[in-house]
């Protein structure tokens, strides 16, 4: 019989698979969407950006809702509704309607990433949150990888419509697993009289933006995720275009890099324990930039190596920043901290991914790498400055 902790890990891994497979499935077929609807890379990338943008806008209201109704109902509704919308997506008769449904799907998906970390803290406690968040992100990366690979490999024989059906079917199966296995959080099992009211939610939101160390994690989420999605949005165009000229199926193999991401995110807490969070986070952000620089030459082996490095490093950075934010969150603001982190993460995906596609469309891959390195450099600066401010504040408090 499964233990409660085991059920939690299975459920959130399945929910993460559903959310990430659906959210980023169109990324592997952006060149096909561009060809069918006569779009440039920036226009095609809207199929990803509108969903992540809608998710970012929705995540705080969803997090606030979870404070009132509980985490489990929000997560269950999220995976169920987003899976059904995934089945409807290929039926859209034109690109504008497809984008509208993608935006609605982004709102639905917000229910899982917006409250998952708070749910894990409440269910497993602060002591186990780093490992639990790492395991959750590992499940997310498997979903993201599988969704992209499934669309990339099936787009040839089935077309992009059939490819999206395949991903929606797999996601629906995982959604059922989540519904069956996800136990209630400790907080949602309490009496309704102890649930937070809207005034408490607002107070928690203020607490979530007062600590410099939390602001640092939000900045890392914004800048690192923007860099990461910008590169992957343009990757299909780079690999299928001149001079590499790979087939869509072969080009989609770049998403196998996510396998390393699942390993690095699950083990990132060891880096934090050994070197400290600040040094560990700085190191993996620099390594992410180095991976991007490796992709500059028109050499397929170097491009593959670059994506392997930047993917592993990015997911380690995300795991460290996310668990750091969860551990530093005030007890009565966990949902708001998780919501703000997720908002900035997906705002980075939407805005950074969209801007990166525009840069690639007008200036090429080299200038996209320049933009990404600048964004990651700003993230490193935020970590260094923000954590030093926190140290000074702590020293002042102790001296007082």
Q: What pLDDT was estimated at residue 70?
A: 85
Fold of 4-182+198-399: Growth Hormone; Chain: A; (1.20.1250)
Q: What pLDDT was estimated at residue 223?
A: 96
Taking a C-beta distance cutoff of 8 angstroms, is the pair 306, 293 a contact?
Answer: yes
| The two structure tokens encoding residue 159 | 């077309």
Separation in Å, CA 288 to CA 64, 161, 181, 226: 33, 33, 35, 12
| The two structure tokens encoding residue 35 | 């060809």
Cα(306)–Cα(372) distance, integer angstroms: 13
Q: What pLDDT was estimated at residue 377?
A: 96
Would you list the domain boundaries of the chain?
4-182+198-399
| The two structure tokens encoding residue 334 | 């966990």
| The two structure tokens encoding residue 3 | 């233990």
Q: What pLDDT was estimated at residue 162?
A: 94
Q: What pLDDT was estimated at residue 130?
A: 61
Cα(85)–Cα(104) distance, integer angstroms: 8
Q: What pLDDT was estimated at residue 132?
A: 65
Q: What pLDDT was estimated at residue 249?
A: 82
Cα(249)–Cα(240) distance, integer angstroms: 10
Q: pLDDT digit string (tens) for 192-207?
A: 444 455 566 677 778 8
Cα(23)–Cα(82) distance, integer angstroms: 9
Residue ranges of the chain with per-residue pLDDT less than 50: 188-195, 394-395, 397-399
Q: What pLDDT was estimated at residue 115?
A: 84
Q: pLDDT digit string (tens) for 299-355?
A: 999 999 999 999 999 989 998 998 888 888 887 777 678 778 888 988 998 899 889
Q: What pLDDT was estimated at residue 193?
A: 42
Q: What pLDDT was estimated at residue 136?
A: 72
SS3 245: coil
The DSSP symbol for 111 reads T
> Counting Cβ atoms within 10 Å, is residue 195 exposed (0-12), middle (13-18) or buried (19+)?
middle
């Amino acid at each position: 019989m499964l233990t409660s902790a085991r059920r939690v890990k299975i459920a959130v891994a399945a929910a993460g698979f559903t959310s990430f497979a659906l959210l980023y499935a169109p990324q592997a077929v952006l060149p096909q969407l561009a060809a069918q609807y006569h779009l440039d890379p920036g226009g095609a990338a809207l199929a990803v950006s509108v969903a992540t943008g809608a998710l970012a806008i929705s995540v705080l209201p969803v997090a606030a809702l979870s404070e009132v109704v509980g985490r489990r109902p929000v997560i269950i509704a999220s995976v169920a509704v987003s899976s059904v919308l995934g089945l409807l997506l290929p039926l859209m008769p034109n690109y504008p309607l497809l984008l509208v449904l993608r935006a609605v799907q982004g709102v639905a998906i917000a229910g899982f990433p917006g409250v998952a970390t708070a749910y894990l803290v409440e269910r497993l406690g602060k002591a186990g949150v780093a490992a639990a968040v790492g395991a959750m992100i590992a499940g997310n990366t498997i979903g993201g990888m599988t969704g992209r690979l499934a669309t990339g490999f099936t787009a040839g024989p089935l077309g992009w419509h059939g490819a999206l059906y395949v991903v929606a079917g797999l996601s629906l199966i995982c959604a059922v697993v989540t519904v069956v296995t996800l136990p209630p959080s400790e907080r949602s099992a309490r009496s309704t009289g102890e649930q937070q009211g809207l005034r408490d939610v607002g107070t928690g939101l203020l607490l979530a933006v007062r600590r410099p160390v939390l602001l640092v994690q939000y900045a890392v989420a914004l800048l690192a995720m923007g860099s990461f999605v910008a590169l992957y949005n343009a990757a299909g165009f780079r690999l299928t275009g001149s001079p590499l000229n790979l087939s869509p199926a072969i080009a989609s193999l770049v998403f196998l890099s996510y396998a390393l991401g699942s390993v690095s995110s699950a083990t990132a807490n060891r880096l934090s324990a050994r070197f400290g969070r600040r040094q560990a986070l700085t190191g993996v952000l620099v390594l992410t930039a180095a991976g991007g620089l490796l992709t500059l030459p028109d050499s397929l082996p170097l491009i593959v190596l670059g994506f392997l490095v930047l993917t592993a490093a990015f997911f380690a950075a995300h795991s460290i920043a996310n668990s750091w934010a969860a551990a530093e969150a005030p007890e009565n603001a966990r949902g708001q901290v998780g919501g703000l982190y997720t908002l900035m993460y997906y705002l980075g995906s939407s805005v950074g991914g969209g801007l990166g596609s525009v840069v690639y469309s007008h200036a090429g891959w080299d200038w996209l790498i320049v933009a990404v390195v600048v964004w990651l450099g700003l993230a490193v600066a935020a970590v260094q400055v923000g954590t030093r401010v926190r140290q000074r504040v702590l020293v002042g408090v102790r001296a007082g």
